[in-house]
Amino acid sequence: MGRSLRRAAAMLFLASLSACAPSLKVMSFNVRYASDEGPTRWEARRPVMVALLQKARPDLIGTQELLQRQGDDLVQALPGYRWFGRDRYGTHVNEHMGILYRTDRLRVVQQGDFWLSDTPDQPGSMSWGTDLPRMANWAVFETIGGPPRRFLFVDTHLAHRDQDDAARDKAVRLILDRLPSLAAGLPVVLAGDMNARPDTAAYRTLASALSDAREQAPTRRGPDMTFHDFTGVADRRIDYLFLRGLHASEVVTDTYHQGSTYPSDHFPIWARLSFDRAPRDK
């Protein structure tokens, strides 16, 4: 076989391996809690958000500020998706870090949550001077279709006030401290509205342990900034996907809107992810 034919055969073989390897499309989205008043009321935003998700079609979405009725509305409008999670008080009356996923692409192996406080297993607990309970929702997922791969997904929403910088750093240290026991060596995706710009202690702590998907990806589309307060002009980057054991080939800040109606006051971010290496033999 000539050199050119051997090269073509090798490229075809690698392409076939790539096609068989499971890949994921993962999103982080602060959906802004539902309101019944004004131009940004949920009734007006809901169809725009549904259209965005129909267009993007992510396999997995980590939301922030999700109320139960919003989660229920979304899965009703998006056949094939389910969602789960408790709210910040351990019930279903307040904001959730709700996790939505495609049942044809992923199955839940294990799930749980914890609070970002000195007593993380106590629902609704607060520490470090924050004014609201903050928490993380998580699950171990297994891919469906092709060789099954498992990974840990964690979704969170950190304290929002300027004076909460130290609390945000303590919160991410708590999350990182919990990853070894939750992941048990599996790849990790951490999604969330961190309320932390890249020059903050919380971001530096995360970036020292995990990879920022947007910084890693060779293809990046959309603005770096994610919070736009329903204006469409974002002025800060506070929404992230952090990775370990997965690689982002593309990251998009999705600015989809219909006229002057935006689905949220944050732009969602999504990434195409692939696993770094084949699973170890059991």
| Interval 98-125: pLDDT, tens | 999 999 999 999 999 999 999 999 999 9
Average pLDDT over residues 116-141: 98
Asked whether the predicted pLDDT for residue 171 surpasses 80, the reply is yes
Asked whether the predicted pLDDT for residue 13 surpasses 70, the reply is no
Q: Percent of the chain scored above 70 by pLDDT?
A: 91
Nearest to 67 by CA among 45, 88, 44: 88
Radius of gyration of the chain (CA): 19
How confident is the model at residue 281, as a pLDDT? Answer: 37
Asked whether the predicted pLDDT for residue 32 surpasses 90, the reply is yes
Asked whether the predicted pLDDT for residue 167 surpasses 60, the reply is yes
Class of domain 24-275: alpha beta
Cβ 162 vs Cβ 142: under 8 Å: no
Asked whether the predicted pLDDT for residue 17 surpasses 80, the reply is no
Q: Which tens digits make up the pLDDT trace of 73-96?
A: 999 999 999 999 999 999 999 999
List all residues 6 or more positions away from 256 whose beta carbon is below 8 Å from its beta carbon. 48, 51, 52, 55, 56, 263
Cβ 5 vs Cβ 255: under 8 Å: no
How confident is the model at residue 277, as a pLDDT? Answer: 77
Cβ 266 vs Cβ 255: under 8 Å: no
Cβ 55 vs Cβ 91: under 8 Å: no
Q: Percent of the chain scored above 90 by pLDDT?
A: 89
User: pTM of the predicted model, to two decimals?
Assistant: 0.91
How confident is the model at residue 9, as a pLDDT? Answer: 43
Average pLDDT over residues 254-281: 90
Beta pairing class for 211-212 and 246-253: unpaired
